Structures are given as structure tokens and as C-alpha cells.
Amino acid sequence: MSRAEKLTDQILERIKGKDVKVKREDILRRMKLLIEEFKVPESEAVRTIMNYLVREYGIPREELFDRDSPLVKIADISKVNQWVSLRAKVVQLWDSNSPNVSQVGLIGDETGIVKFVVWAKASQPEVEEGKSYIFRNVVTDSFQGRMQINVTRTSRIEEIDEDIQLPPREIEVVGSMVAIQQNSGLVKRCNECGRVLNKGVCHQHGKVEGYDDLRIKAVIDDGENVYEIILNEENIKELTGIGLDEALKIAHETLDRNAVLAELKNMLLGRYFRVKGLRGGRYLLVKEISVHKPKADDFNEILEALA
Amino acid sequence: MMRRREVAKRVFAYELLRSTHQIESEGLRYVLTPTGERVNRIFSVAVLLDKEEIGADTNNWRLRLADPTGTFYATVGKFQPEALEAINEMNVPELVAIVGKPRVFEGVSRKLISIRPENIVAVDLSVRDYWVLETARRTLERIEAMEKREGEDVELAWTVYDPDLNEYREMVKKALLTVKEDVEIMEKLEESPHEDEPEEEFDFEEFEFEEEEFDLTDLLED
């Protein structure tokens, strides 16, 4: 069956059972003309023909266009192959490693978070992390035992001016600390607002005295994704034995505040950590962090699978 | 939109050494490995065998590193300040974790891959052990994807390298076996830290000193 024939049948499917007689050849001829001759994008061809049906056959516009799938909450998605609409926020986008996938990531609403896949063939506008949308006519699916949402060519994505709240999401990752970012180590914070000072200057309050604090902004990389985390003094002391007092001592002895960061980098970079935390915006808010070590059983498991 | 930080891929030296194909995409350079991994950044744990300054006082260093599957090179210069600082202070041999960018260079007779480290840090054996485990897992996933012919990079890897996947499976196996024993010993030690080898008390009684050797009185009298 040609693409034009498939689309024609999809349109006819929509008006099946309505009290109108539409000739398949009529629609098909127009569809072929638009797609095959004039090379109009499929979505435009479909829209043009639906408009034609509204005009010529008097089919109410709502019946053709607004047959939106019911609006549901993510937590209620449990079956595959259900056509639904969702009001959701894009939580995270991953790099797509297939040319067939235009975007892949997570979307969430107040009730939960689910993976979504926008197929390249769906030719949809790109969504952005942190923005909220109505995902109309998306279809539920299951991949490797977990539910996901597929955005297809019949779906519609509309941005909405609303910030959908997400449930707190705890995640656990094991990864290597591949980088420690600027403004880490022994820092000075503003006495008024607690922001980290840049050369003794606060963004908000100008030149202030400031007070000492210890913190690390780091990148945890598990080979598949990167996570930015912030470690506070307590976390740092637990991992390295260096707390604020020790850090100040190092700074005094070396006459160099940067020596603290160098020391911390030596102790932390390249190591594997298990991090439990809440995803909030850009940073993973650390609840627990510990050094991760391998187990002999893990090796045996793969070796057995290899044998 | 802010550019997403590139993930550091896990690739064994054996596979890295056989990577000769580069891809340019959206202003970034990637190395394609024989099992279809697209690498802009790499994370490796290896032994730094040798560091050699390329020309006297240039502060450009050539590093030779080895993981359980092979030896590879890295170069550090002034554009990698963090790595440079670390290298200046490091003695060889040393087990290191290294994050860096792989680059393919065309030599006269063959292509050579080298890493530009972003940072390099001395680590302990458990880091190496977990890295081997993780890299083994990832490599096997890629081998599986190659078999299923999933995706553009996989197809490209078949065209460019036409790899013998069994060769890569053997490499993974070898790497796992190399460190497995190590991990088992570590586990035993942790279970019973002091039972295996009770520390012998040093017996000073058995030492007999010749009195005069230690008699310094004549020195003091001078």
C-alpha cells in the first residue's frame, strides 16, 4: 500500500460511521496529487484534505479535527496501545542514538514521570527541557518492561504557559566523578543572601566581607548520562575527611585557598560514587553519596553470560 | 540552549587502538570505534607506564598508558592545565583515572589514536576493577547492538571496520578474568581483615647489638 493510500484510509477511518458518503478515489487522487506530485509535507496534505471534507461534505470541523484522545494523568497509564493526551513538562532530554528518533527523554506531571520518544518520521517541533506542553494524541507503549509514550505523526504538541509541578523524584546513579567545576572548594558566601562571592563581590549585594564555606559542584558520568551534583561541607567531610576547619588549615599552611580544591580533586576525581538524590532543575540534590566498589559476583555474572 | 556536556564513553584500549574513523557533527569531533560507539570524550582507568617530555622544557608530555587489554598514548600540553599540573607531580608507574578527548592522527604508514586528557588523577585498584566491569558491560551491549544492526553508527562501524565480534568478546573476557581474582581477594580481606595473616610481632630480643658499634662516647669527647 502506498503512503498516499495509507493516509487516505486513516482519514476515512475518522469519518467512518458518520452519515456521509465520501468517495475513496476522490480523496486518494487528491492525496496523491499533493504528496507525490507537489511534494507537500504529509501533515499539510492531510490538513488540506480535511479542510476540503469540511467544505465539500459539510462534516462538522470538530468531528474531524478535535477527536482528541482523553486527557489522562501519567500515573494512570498502564496499558499499551492507548491513545491519550497528556499535560506534562519535559523533565530531561537524552541524546538520541538512533536516526529514527528525533527526541527522547522524560516527561512528567504531578503524578509521575514517563519516558517519551518523538519519532523522526512524526516531524514534530522540538520540545525543550523545563517547558510544559500538551501532548495530544500520543500512544502508550512498553519498552523493556517499562511504559513509554510515543509521539507519532498524528500527535500534536502544544506549548502551554504553565509550569507543571513534578513529584519529587529520587534517583540513584553509579558513576565516575569526571569533573569538578569552577567555584568549588573553599568559597566565600555573602552574609546577606548566602550566594557564593566572585572575587569578594556578591551579585546582589556588591562588595561584602563574606564567610567561609566548603562546597563542590561536580559532574557524575555513568557512561550514558551526566549528572551535575552539589556537595555540601558535610558530604565533603564524609568522603574526604576534609571539613571546613581542615580546609581553612590547608589554606593557612599553604597560603593558598586553591590548595584546598587541588587536594579535593586529588581525592575525588576519577573515583566511582553511588549517589542518591532528588532531581531538581539542573542539579541533582544529593541525599546520600558513597564510594562505590565492585563485587566479585558481578564479574562472574558477565563471565557466565559470555561462556 | 546550552550545549549538553558530552558523556565520557567507556572503551578498552584494545578497541580504542583500532579506532581510526572520525566523524564531524555539529561542530564536534567524534571517533567511531569498531563496535559502533561514537566517542567525543573518554573515561579510562589505566597504568601510567611512562611520561616523557617532548623536547626539553617544553612542558609537552607524551604519556604511555596501559589497561588490561592494551597500551595507548596521551599527550598533555598547556591547553590541558589541570592534567599538566597533575603530570608534573606524578611519578611512574601509577594507576590513574583519566578523562579526555580522543583524536586520530594520520601518520605516514598508519593512523594513530591519542588522548588529550582533561584531567588525570592517581586512583586505587578498586576504581580500576569497577572500570573494567563497567567497560565490559558497555562493550558487550555494543557488540549486541552490532549483531542486531541497530542504528546509524552501528551500520557505519560495519562498513568502516567490518569487525570480528568474537575477537572483541574474547578481549572483554580476558579483561574480566584479569581483575576478577583481584576483586575476590579484596572481598576476602574485607570479610576477615586480620585472620589470614596475623601480624608477627617484631622480636627485638633476638637482635644482638655489638656494644661498641653504638658507643658514641668517644665522638662526644672530641
What's the CATH number where A146 sits?
A: 2.40.50.140
Report the pLDDT value the prediction gives residue B102, as an integer from 0 to 100.
Answer: 97
Q: In chain A, which residues have their Cβ closer than 8 Å to the Cβ of B186? A: 293
Q: Tell me whether residue A259 is in a domain.
A: yes
Could you tell me if A112 and A74 are in contact, meaning their C-beta atoms sit under 8 angstroms apart?
Answer: yes
Q: In chain B, which residues have their Cβ closer than 8 Å to the Cβ of A274? A: none
Which stretch of A184-193, A267-276, B166-175, B183-192 has the lowest confidence by average pLDDT?
Answer: B183-192
Q: Which of B25, B44, B48, B121 to mutate to test the interface with A (most CBs of A within 10 A)?
A: B121
Report the pLDDT value the prediction gives residue B1, as an integer from 0 to 100.
Answer: 36
Whether B95 and chain A come into contact, CB under 8 Å, resolves to: no
Q: Which residue of B has its CA nearest to A272?
A: B127
Instruction: Kindly report the nearest CA distance between residue B121 and chain A, in angstroms.
Output: 6
Whether A20 and chain B come into contact, CB under 8 Å, resolves to: no
- Give me the domain span that covers residue A81: 74-160
Q: How many domains does chain A have?
A: 3
Q: Tell me whether residue A181 is in a domain.
A: yes
Neighbours of B99 (CB within 10 A): 25
Q: Tell me whether residue A146 is in a domain.
A: yes
Examine the fold and report which residue of A105, A126, A160 is the final residue of a domain before the chain moves on. Answer: A160
Q: Are residues A25 and A140 in the same domain?
A: no
Report the pLDDT value the prediction gives residue A17, as an integer from 0 to 100.
Answer: 67
Is the pLDDT assigned to residue A267 strictly greater than 60? yes
Q: Are residues A40 and A101 in the same domain?
A: no
Report the pLDDT value the prediction gives residue A169, as an integer from 0 to 100.
Answer: 73
* Cβ pair B177:A179 closer than 8 A: no
Task: Give the model's confidence band at A189: pLDDT under 50 very low, under 70 low, under 90 confident, else very high.
Answer: very high
Q: Are residues A256 and A212 in the same domain?
A: yes
Task: Give the model's confidence band at A151: pLDDT under 50 very low, under 70 low, under 90 confident, else very high.
Answer: very high
Q: Are residues A191 and A296 in the same domain?
A: yes
Q: Compare CB distances from A226 to B5, B118, B137 and report the shortest one's residue.
A: B5
Q: Helix, strand, or coil here: B109?
A: coil
Q: Are residues A201 and A150 in the same domain?
A: no
Q: Are residues A24 and A47 in the same domain?
A: yes
Q: In chain A, which residues have their Cβ closer than 8 Å to the Cβ of B96? A: 270
Contacts of A100 by beta carbon, 8 Å cutoff, 6+ apart: A119, A120, A121
Q: Are residues A9 and A83 in the same domain?
A: no
* Cβ pair A294:B183 closer than 8 A: yes
Q: Tell me whether residue A209 is in a domain.
A: yes
Higher pLDDT, A1 or A224: A224
Q: In chain A, which residues have their Cβ closer than 8 Å to the Cβ of B179? A: 299
Whether A295 and chain B come into contact, CB under 8 Å, resolves to: yes
Q: Are residues A135 and A13 in the same domain?
A: no
Q: Are residues A61 and A98 in the same domain?
A: no
Q: Are residues A121 and A142 in the same domain?
A: yes
Is the pLDDT assigned to residue A270 strictly greater than 80? yes
What is the CATH code for B9-180?
Answer: 2.40.50.140
Q: Which residue of B has its CA nearest to A92?
A: B4
Could you tell me if B190 and B85 are in contact, meaning their C-beta atoms sit under 8 angstroms apart?
Answer: no
Q: Tell me whether residue A262 is in a domain.
A: yes
Q: Tell me whether residue A278 is in a domain.
A: yes
DSSP string of B129-197? HHHHHHHHHHHHHHHHHHHHT-SHHHHHHHHHH---HHHHHHHHHHHHHHHHHHHHHHHHHHHSTTTSS
Report the pLDDT value the prediction gives residue B2, as an integer from 0 to 100.
Answer: 47
Q: Which residue of B has its CA nearest to A178?
A: B99
Neighbours of A13 (CB within 10 A): 9
Instruction: Kindly report the nearest CA distance between residue B106 and chain A, in angstroms.
Output: 28
Whether A144 and chain B come into contact, CB under 8 Å, resolves to: no
Instruction: Kindly report the nearest CA distance between residue B210 and chain A, in angstroms.
Output: 45
Q: Which of B130, B135, B140, B147 to mutate to test the interface with A (most CBs of A within 10 A)?
A: B130
Instruction: Kindly report the nearest CA distance between residue A300 and chain B, in angstroms.
Output: 8
* Cβ pair A271:B123 closer than 8 A: yes
Per-residue pLDDT of chain B (222 residues; tens, 9 = 90+): 346 789 999 999 999 999 999 999 888 999 999 999 999 999 999 999 999 999 888 889 999 999 999 999 999 999 999 999 999 999 989 999 999 999 999 888 888 999 999 999 999 999 999 999 999 999 999 999 999 998 899 999 999 999 999 999 999 999 999 998 888 888 888 776 555 555 666 666 665 555 555 555 555 555
Can you tell me the mean pLDDT for A275-302?
87
Can you tell me the mean pLDDT for A32-58?
86
Report the pLDDT value the prediction gives residue A96, as an integer from 0 to 100.
Answer: 75
Higher pLDDT, B22 or A167: B22
Q: Tell me whether residue A165 is in a domain.
A: no
Whether A95 and chain B come into contact, CB under 8 Å, resolves to: yes
Is the pLDDT assigned to residue A304 strictly greater than 60? yes
